[in-house]
Amino acid sequence: MTTLNPANGKVPGPPGAALPDGPLPVAPRRRRPLAPVLYRLIAPGARARAADPVPSALAPLLAAHRAACPHPDEAALLRGYRVAEELHRGQLRKSGAPYITHPLAVATILAGLGLDTTTLVAALLHDTVEDTPYTLGQVRADFGDEIAVLVDGVTKLDGERWGDRAEAETFRKIVLSAAADLRVLVIKLADRLHNLRTLGFQPPHKRARIAKASHELLVPFAERLGVHVLKREMDDLAFAAGDPGAHAATGRAVRAAMRGAPAAFGPAVTRLRGALAEHRVRADVSVRVSHLYAVHKATGGDLAGLRPCQVARLLVVVDGAERDCYVALGAVHAALHPISGRVADYIALPKDNLYRSLHTRVISPDGDPLEVIVRSRAMHPVAEYGIVAHIRDAAHRTGGEGTGAVAGRRDLEWLGRLLAWQSDAPSERFLENLRTDLAEGDVAALSPAGQIVTLPAGATVLDFAYALGPATGDRSIGALVNGRPAALSAEVRGGNVVEVLTDPGSVPSADWLDFAVTAPARVHIGQALARRGAEEAAEAGRRLLVRALARRELDLLAAEAHGDSLAVARDLGYLEVDEMYAALTAGTLDLADLLARFAGA
């Protein structure tokens, strides 16, 4: 069980929490030396002193953890809180509240999701390495490797050291850390959720920037993990911060539309319940209102005459196995006229984020199109909490011992895709590629051998080719889509069978970047073009040097054979002779200086 409030769909935070992003020290920030009291808190015997009075500020977190976790280690949680509170003492939020209220709120959000004690302790400590004298080595020594990995994963890189690359490299670090333990991403999401909840203390320009970054990067990560309970609230909070006028207008329009919900949904629900009973399927049928940002995107901001069926849908949660979901789908279609071609089967073919349900569009009794979702009761927690549900179940089964193994799973296709291209992407392009890769809308297509390839909406045959591997992409010349010839620029649709045609002599073309959508395709095309450009520049520089040396009756080929060219290149600071030749083409190396060096070699 979790403590999710079903009335508003929000994960609970501390009562009255309204605190902003970022610590604000009383004086210009200085890293204080560790206080003697901290050494007592982290000393080996500190674990045994769990009988000390529990601070009142910690009570809501402990209560949420006890309610959701069958094996809480309250002593570890108390120790983590005391260390974090001591380390952050003297740091303030922009509201003037003590900074410890932020990590405490993040941990409470995670406790509401039902996460294990290890994750909550890491959440309490997640800003200590970044904002206090506490080091990662000390975290590891005091709390163990598992917590140190989580804290390290969410710690931002030093802006002074990394400069303009800090944000991109921080997100690259998060991706790599998530490969080791997905709880890193879950903590980061809870951290951003609390910062969005408390954005009111930030100036307008910063609110807009944080809202934009949240929609482009953090919300998509929540979607990829399937943690929709976080995604929905983050979506709406970022919407409110980024476009408060549209947010307010959407809220008014949804409330007005839902006043007609009983008349719009009542007859459909009555028919559906009757059909389910006839098909001998036990299920709960409920009306689910879409969150505001989803309505805003679906309507394009055109809120005139918004109807109940545009802002809500029916959810059928079946008591039974997978096959009962298909029986229930038949009952839906028997009760309400189905719209042809509008059934999506995410049970047989789950989404990247582990989501499994059946979606269908039908005509309601009053003639409006209506979406109906069917899933089993076992599928429902995963549909709401995604990977968190799996982590939570592992903790419940093993007393917490199996949590790390589930959180370290690397079989998620989207994560494998990120890991495959991230190391090849330069810092200046990494965030752009990450935004593209995380963009909403997945399309599942098939190879002739039956391999499922998941691509973002709008992806092309070329993207499909690169998804099969860089070598296939580089040599692709076209495709057969459902048996018919198609260009590399053709858009791939869900369910398409795509056979990529290749030529061993084919190489990537610069115009491919005009229609390549996915990050793997764009990264590999960019690398191929850069390699070819470097080769052409090196060849042009070499030809220039050959002609100049020939006029002095010197032979470059002989100099290369004897190693003189490499010696000159190394003397000039180049690792390879081709780099030296390319520099000559670019004009960054003076030809006269180079000739003098060869003459003296």
Q: Would you list the domain boundaries of the chain?
A: 24-227, 251-385, 413-525, 531-600
Calculate helix-pair angle for 101-113, 59-68, nearest 10 degrees: 20
The residue written with tokens 């482009």 in the block is: 216
Confidence of residue 398 (pLDDT cuts 50, 70, 90): low
Average pLDDT over residues 455-475: 90
Which stretch of 124-133, 307-316, 368-377, 448-457 has the lowest confidence by average pLDDT? 448-457
Which stretch of 240-254, 283-297, 553-567 has the lowest confidence by average pLDDT? 553-567
The answer, yes or no, to whether residue 180 has pLDDT greater than 90, is no
- For 460-484, b/e burial (b = at least 16 CB within 10 A) is bbbbbbbbbebeebbbbebbebeee
Mean pLDDT rounded to a whole number for the chain: 85
**Catalytic position from the list 131, 181, 352, 384:** 131
Query: Among residues 313, 411, 308, 303, which one has the least CA distance to residue 362?
Result: 313
- For 494-527, b/e burial (b = at least 16 CB within 10 A) is eebebbbbbeeeeebeeebeebbbbbbbbbbbbb
42, 83 in Cβ contact below 8 A? yes
- For 61-87, b/e burial (b = at least 16 CB within 10 A) is bbebbeebbeebbebbbbbbbbbbbbb
Average pLDDT over residues 239-268: 94
Q: Give the other-Cβ count within 10 Å of 331's Cβ.
A: 25
Confidence of residue 25 (pLDDT cuts 50, 70, 90): very low
pLDDT in tens, 479-538: 999 999 999 999 998 888 999 999 998 899 999 999 998 888 888 898 888 888 888 899
Is 131 one of the catalytic residues?
yes
Q: How far is CA 151 from the centre of its chain?
A: 18
Confidence of residue 162 (pLDDT cuts 50, 70, 90): confident
pLDDT in tens, 51-75: 567 788 899 999 999 988 877 889 9
pLDDT in tens, 212-251: 999 988 999 999 899 999 999 999 999 999 999 999 999 9
DSSP-derived 3-state class of residue 19:
coil
HSE of 385, CA atoms in CB hemisphere, 13 A: 23
Percent of the chain with pLDDT over 70: 88
For residue 213, give the H/E element and its range: helix 204-213
Higher pLDDT pick, 21 / 330:
330
Q: What is the structure's pLDDT at 55?
A: 87
**Catalytic position from the list 74, 130, 216, 322:** 130
290, 347 in Cβ contact below 8 A? no
Q: Tell me yes or no: is domain 413-525 CATH 3.60.15.10.
A: no
Rounded Cα distance between 381 and 395, Å, is 15
Confidence of residue 281 (pLDDT cuts 50, 70, 90): very high
Q: What is the structure's pLDDT at 419?
A: 81
Rounded Cα distance between 332 and 362, Å, is 8
Q: Give the other-Cβ count within 10 Å of 555's Cβ.
A: 11
Confidence of residue 342 (pLDDT cuts 50, 70, 90): confident
The answer, yes or no, to whether residue 19 has pLDDT greater than 60, is no
Rounded Cα distance between 140 and 146, Å, is 8
Q: What is the structure's pLDDT at 407?
A: 66
What is the CATH topology of the domain spanning 251-385? Beta Polymerase; domain 2 (3.30.460)
Phi, psi (rounded to 5 degrees) for 367: 95, 5
pLDDT in tens, 72-122: 889 999 999 999 999 999 998 887 889 999 999 999 999 999 999 999 999
CATH superfamily to which 24-227 belongs: Hypothetical protein af1432 (1.10.3210.10)
Rounded Cα distance between 51 and 35, Å, is 22
Query: Among residues 161, 165, 167, which one has the least CA distance to residue 213?
Result: 167
Rounded Cα distance between 521 and 59, Å, is 50
Q: What is the structure's pLDDT at 228?
A: 94
**Reduced 3-state DSSP string for 113-149:** HCCCHHHHHHHHCCCHHHHCCCCHHHHHHHHCHHHHH
The answer, yes or no, to whether residue 159 has pLDDT greater than 70, is no
Sheet holding 476-481, edge to edge: 484-486, 476-481, 498-502
Confidence of residue 408 (pLDDT cuts 50, 70, 90): low
